[in-house]
Amino acid sequence: MPEPAETIDGWYCLHDLRSIDWTSWKRLPQDERQQILDEFVSMVEEWIDNEQKEEGSYALYSIVGQKADLMFMLLRPTMEELEQIEKAYNQSRLAEYTIPAYSYISVVELGKYMFRGEGDPLEDPSIRERVFPILPKWEHICFYPMDKKREGEDNWYMMPAKDRGQLMYGHGMVGRKYAGYVKQVITGSVGFDDWEWGVTLFAHDVLQFKKLIYEMRFDEASARFAEFGPFYVGNVLEKDKIAGYFQV
Ligand code: VOV
């Protein structure tokens, strides 16, 4: 008998990645570039304001490599709000100088594997903190989508819940070694996007991503079952550093 995993779901999540059209950007006069950036910074200020009111959260990072230049990660109580943010950006002047590179839609998810409580988990403050998280603004981000395999003996979805729970326990034990070094936000995307989960990791030291992900590759939950999409890695882009980043 299949035993579907139960999840606790929180804020909806948009990962929005853009590449900068530097050629067109460089052609703009300095004062126009400044106006465009002022408009963008006010948008970021709205995200900060929303976060301070605990009505959502945001992360702004510059991405290294050719897959993208900027990543906005936005959390909101509804999908409609995510659409509004996306639209506001698309209608902003900066969007004329950036090209959509990738996007990912999901919802912050906690598996019930480790949840032992009774009643509504959303009334538990420690659970609320995890499904309605204020995203860290640590120096580095690593984002990738992933699936769990459905092939022959390695079919995650045909495994008894107890066995999946054991594997997730082992997975959690590996992850716990990185407490304080890597913070993970797992978002579920079945029905929302092309992969089953989004994995977003934050670290002060970028090397910790490689160490954690490599160690997890040897753990059964990943070694047997995990399949990965594209990886994006980047550096935090604080509001006050935006002008410097766009300087040409
Ligand atoms: C910082 C490290 C870290 C820690 C502590 C951690 C812990 C935990 C726990 C305790 C649990 C289970 C309960 C829940 O919370 O859902 C999970 C769940 C999950 N994880 Fe995880 N994970 C980490 C990190 C971490 C990484 C690096 C990855 C990517 C895998 C890899 O190989 O690249 C990952 C994936 C996931 C996924 C896709 C799920 C959901 C699977 C499902 O079937 O539901 N995760 N995770």
pLDDT digits (tens, 9 = 90+) for 67-103: 999 999 999 999 999 999 999 999 999 999 999 999 9
CA torsion sign for 20, 34, 58, 240 is positive
- The domain that contains 30 carries what CATH number? 3.30.70.1030
Ligand 1 and 199: CB distance under 6 A: yes
Examine residue 193 and state whether it is found in any structural domain, yes or no: yes
CA distance linking residue 196 with residue 164, whole number of Å: 16
Q: Residues 113-131: what's their mean pLDDT?
A: 90
Model pLDDT, residue 117: 76
Residue 54 pLDDT > 80: yes
Q: Residues 14-35: what's their mean pLDDT?
A: 98
Helix axes 30-52, 79-90, angle to 10 degrees: 170
Residue 33 pLDDT > 90: yes
Examine residue 147 and state whether it is found in any structural domain, yes or no: yes
ipTM: 0.96
Q: Which atom of ligand 1 is nearest to the CA of 226?
A: 32
Q: How confident is the model at residue 1 (pLDDT cuts 50, 70, 90)?
A: low
Model pLDDT, residue 15: 99
Distance of CA 178 to the CA centre of its chain: 18
Examine residue 94 and state whether it is found in any structural domain, yes or no: yes
Ligand 1 and 113: CB distance under 6 A: yes
Q: Which of 104, 144, 178, 232 does the annotation list as catalytic?
A: 144
CA of 136 to the centre of ligand 1 (A): 17
Q: Residues 120-134: what's their mean pLDDT?
A: 96
Question: Residue 130 is part of which domain span?
Answer: 7-246
pLDDT digits (tens, 9 = 90+) for 188-238: 999 999 999 999 999 999 999 999 999 999 999 999 999 999 999 999 999
Probe residue for ligand 1, chosen from 108, 168, 193 as the CB with the greatest number of ligand atoms within 8 Å? 168
Examine residue 2 and state whether it is found in any structural domain, yes or no: no
As a whole-number percent, the residues of the chain with pLDDT over 90 amount to: 96
Helices (H), the chain: 22-27, 30-52, 79-90, 125-131, 161-176, 207-217, 220-225, 242-246
Examine residue 1 and state whether it is found in any structural domain, yes or no: no
Using DSSP bridges, classify how beta strands 140-148 and 150-151 pair: parallel, antiparallel or unpaired.
unpaired
Residue 115 pLDDT > 80: no
Greater model confidence, 111 or 2: 111
The mean pLDDT of the chain is 97
Examine residue 221 and state whether it is found in any structural domain, yes or no: yes
> Is this model's pTM higher than 0.95 or not?
yes
CA distance linking residue 105 with residue 189, whole number of Å: 6
Examine residue 141 and state whether it is found in any structural domain, yes or no: yes
Question: Count of domains in the chain?
Answer: 1
CA of 169 to the centre of ligand 1 (A): 9
pLDDT digits (tens, 9 = 90+) for 148-182: 999 999 999 999 999 999 999 999 999 999 999 99
Model pLDDT, residue 93: 98
Whether residue 97 lies in the annotated active site: no
Protein residue whose Cα sits closest to atom 23 of ligand 1: 175
Probe residue for ligand 1, chosen from 116, 126, 186 as the CB with the greatest number of ligand atoms within 8 Å? 186
Model pLDDT, residue 100: 98
Examine residue 151 and state whether it is found in any structural domain, yes or no: yes
